[in-house]
Chains A and B, each alone.
Chain A
Amino acid sequence: MIEIKDLHKKFGKNEVLKGIDLSIGEGGIFSILGPNGSGKTTLIKAILGMVIPDSGEILFNGESLKNNFKYRDKIDYLPQIANFPGNLKVSELIEMIKDLRATKATHDEALIDLFKLQPFLNKRLVNLSGGTKQKVNLVLTFMFDSPLIILDEPTSGLDPISHLRLKNLIFAEKEKGKTILVTSHILSFVEEIADEIVFLLEGKIYFKGSITKLKTKTEQPDFEHAIASILSASYA
């Protein structure tokens, strides 16, 4: 589904991605891990076309992303920070995003039900609490039936119930055969959902494979220690 070839990106003098080669197949949950500043968000933003690479190529279903914007119709993206134009009402925001995409949204009403958002539909976004905004964010992300879903730190700022609902949503989407890319620092969450791990370290891919493979590679009994051993090896 996504083919990344020798991707380089510099921000000023800071070389963030130093030659990423990655191929992500169809179906399954892929988790992108790595310490702070390892290039996770940059990689995701490069796939979304928000960051323009210095060199290298990204193919989405065989098509190059360069000067292309229509492919984003096949991606649902949950950004890290939920912040919307304050003067719009919730229902207007949902209508707006629907209006901007060619595909029909099918799940918006079910999702509004699930997150109990009906009382807020006619309120302006500026008057909503952070948690409610994040729920709106989730509705916006999951209301389309796109084959690729990208979630950037989806757990940040969620209460336990919403966390659980999010997890169920992710599993339900996986059942439909979708590809899901997740970044998260919460290892228990990753261990629970991820089929495959992509570990970024200093702008390069350090490891790609299943959690079991990671455990054998690092000779550690559990996931947390495996990650810790990679990190301490790199800091040493």
Chain B
Amino acid sequence: MLKILKYSFYDLMRSRWSYVYFLFYLLLGIVLLFLNNDLSKAVITLMNVIIILVPLIGTIFGVMYYYNSREFTELLLAQPVKRSSIFLGQYFGVATSLAMSLIIGLGLPFAFYGIFNSSAIWDFSLLLITGGFLTFIFTALAFVIALSNENKIKGFGYAILLWLFMAVIYDGLFLMSLLYFEDYPLDKFSLFATMLNPVDLSRVLILLKLDISALLGYTGAVFQQFFGTSFGVILSFVMLVFWVVIPTFFIWRIAKRKDF
């Protein structure tokens, strides 16, 4: 698997899109830091960008890479290589290169800014870690979708819908249900619902770390009580890991049975 990962990674590292993605983050980091001069505000803006953009790019790139490398995959399938190694290798190659673009692209300007001497280093690291998780989660979901759909248009459609659902619609439904059931105690429900969406989970994790949970009102207090504890943080990370492991398991399972 490592060999396939290596080649997928090299292939992507030379593609123009990896650079565009890297430069975008580099520019974003520079603009936010040096024109703004307020580190926590910069981190909040970055959070909003990362929460929406990273899943989108992970989904699109994952689907695109899978469909584009179809003939290459067939070439590999005829070699003495395990099937699961081919697909898992490609998946980790794509996800790793995307995560690297994100981490280096944002890390460089922050490093020059002097993040290492600042108290915001933990907020910033948390931002990058959740960004990395989101990349791995959504690339894996994209691979699952692409593997189950021969038709490219359908695959792209489902992938975009998935992103739209996770990033936008889920929140809408969540809010609506909160309003509709406002007479009932909803603490447990909202905690649970947040856990089930990696985008929301990442957002809440970062917001609470930034100590602006007071903005969230009563729910914020409940969340602070839960996510503020180390148990809450550990549980959130366990959930994020599950969000990576479960789609990866599906990649493995679908790849094993698929015809080419």
A in complex with B:
yes
Q: Which residue in A50, A83, A87, A88 is a CB contact (below 8 Å) of B78?
A: A50
Q: Does A75 lie within 8 Å of B82, measured CB to CB?
A: no
Q: Does B78 lie within 8 Å of A48, measured CB to CB?
A: yes
Q: Does A50 lie within 8 Å of B81, measured CB to CB?
A: no
Q: Does B11 lie within 8 Å of A11, measured CB to CB?
A: no
B83 close to A (CB within 8 Å)? yes
Q: Which residue in A50, A72, A97, A101 is a CB contact (below 8 Å) of B259?
A: A50
Q: Which residue in B12, B78, B260 is a CB contact (below 8 Å) of A77?
A: B78
A189 close to B (CB within 8 Å)? no
Complex: A99 Cα to B4 Cα, angstroms:
10
Given contacts A50-B260, A51-B260, A52-B259, contact A87 B77 (CB under 8 A): no
Give the residues in chain B near A77, CB-CB below 8 Å. Answer: 78
Q: Report whether over half of chain B's contact residues are helix, strand or loop; otherwise say mixed.
A: helix
Q: Which residue in A11, A87, A102 is a CB contact (below 8 Å) of B80?
A: A102
B69 close to A (CB within 8 Å)? yes
Give the residues in chain B near A84, CB-CB below 8 Å. Answer: 71-72, 75
Can you list, as one digit per residue, whether each of B1-23 has a CB less than 8 Å from chain A (1) or not (0)? 00100010011101100000000
Q: Does B80 lie within 8 Å of A72, measured CB to CB?
A: yes
CB-nearest residue of chain A relative to B82?
A69
Pick 22 A–B contacts, CB within 8 A, sort by A.
Answer: A11-B259, A49-B77, A50-B74, A50-B77, A50-B260, A51-B259, A52-B259, A69-B80, A70-B80, A71-B80, A72-B79, A73-B80, A75-B78, A79-B71, A79-B74, A79-B75, A81-B71, A84-B75, A100-B76, A101-B79, A102-B80, A140-B75
CB-nearest residue of chain B relative to A103?
B80
Q: Which of B184-231 contact A (CB under 8 A)?
A: none
Given contacts A51-B259, A75-B78, A97-B79, contact A87 B15 (CB under 8 A): yes
Complex: A71 Cα to B79 Cα, angstroms:
9
Give the residues in chain B near A72, CB-CB below 8 Å. Answer: 78-81
Q: Does A79 lie within 8 Å of B3, measured CB to CB?
A: no
Complex: A73 Cα to B178 Cα, angstroms:
59
Q: Does A88 lie within 8 Å of B7, measured CB to CB?
A: yes
Given contacts A48-B77, A100-B3, A100-B80, contact A87 B14 (CB under 8 A): yes
CB-nearest residue of chain A relative to B260?
A50
**Chain A contact patch, size range:** 20 to 34
Give the residues in chain A near B259, CB-CB below 8 Å. Answer: 11, 45, 50-52
Given contacts A73-B80, A79-B75, A88-B10, contact A45 B69 (CB under 8 A): no
Kindly name the residue among A52, A69, A99 whose own CB sees the greatest number of chain B CB atoms within 10 A.
Answer: A69
Give the residues in chain A near B83, CB-CB below 8 Å. Answer: 69
Complex: A18 Cα to B76 Cα, angstroms:
28
A85 close to B (CB within 8 Å)? yes
Q: Which residue in A51, A52, A79, A100 is a CB contact (below 8 Å) of B81?
A: A100
Give the residues in chain B near A49, CB-CB below 8 Å. Answer: 77
Give the residues in chain B near A75, CB-CB below 8 Å. Answer: 78
Complex: A217 Cα to B52 Cα, angstroms:
69
- Which 3 A-B pairs rank lowest in CB-CB distance, beginning with the nearest? A83-B71, A73-B80, A77-B78
Can you list, as one digit per residue, whether each of B61-91 has a CB less than 8 Å from chain A (1) or not (0)? 0000000010110111111111100000000
A169 close to B (CB within 8 Å)? no
Give the residues in chain B near A102, CB-CB below 8 Å. Answer: 80
A96 close to B (CB within 8 Å)? yes
Complex: A101 Cα to B257 Cα, angstroms:
23
Can you list, as one digit per residue, whether each of A218-231 has a CB less than 8 Å from chain B (1) or not (0)? 00000000000000
Q: Chain A nearest CB: distance from B254 CB in Å?
A: 12
Q: Chain B nearest CB: distance from A22 CB in Å?
A: 19
Q: Does B11 lie within 8 Å of A87, measured CB to CB?
A: yes
Q: Which residue in B69, B79, B80 is a CB contact (below 8 Å) of A85?
A: B69
Q: Chain A nearest CB: distance from B204 CB in Å?
A: 38
Question: Given known contacts A11-B259, A79-B78, A100-B3, what 9 new A-B pairs fall within 8 Å (CB)?
Answer: A48-B78, A72-B79, A72-B81, A77-B78, A79-B74, A79-B75, A84-B71, A88-B7, A100-B80
Given contacts A50-B74, A79-B75, A100-B3, contact A88 B80 (CB under 8 A): no
Can you list, as one digit per residue, whether each of A59-73 has a CB less than 8 Å from chain B (1) or not (0)? 000000000011111
Give the residues in chain A near B257, CB-CB below 8 Å. Answer: 52
Give the residues in chain B near A45, CB-CB below 8 Å. Answer: 259-260
Q: Chain B nearest CB: distance from A64 CB in Å?
A: 16
Complex: A69 Cα to B259 Cα, angstroms:
15
Complex: A49 Cα to B83 Cα, angstroms:
10
Q: Does B11 lie within 8 Å of A88, measured CB to CB?
A: yes
Q: Chain A nearest CB: distance from B141 CB in Å?
A: 23
Q: Chain A nearest CB: distance from B37 CB in Å?
A: 39
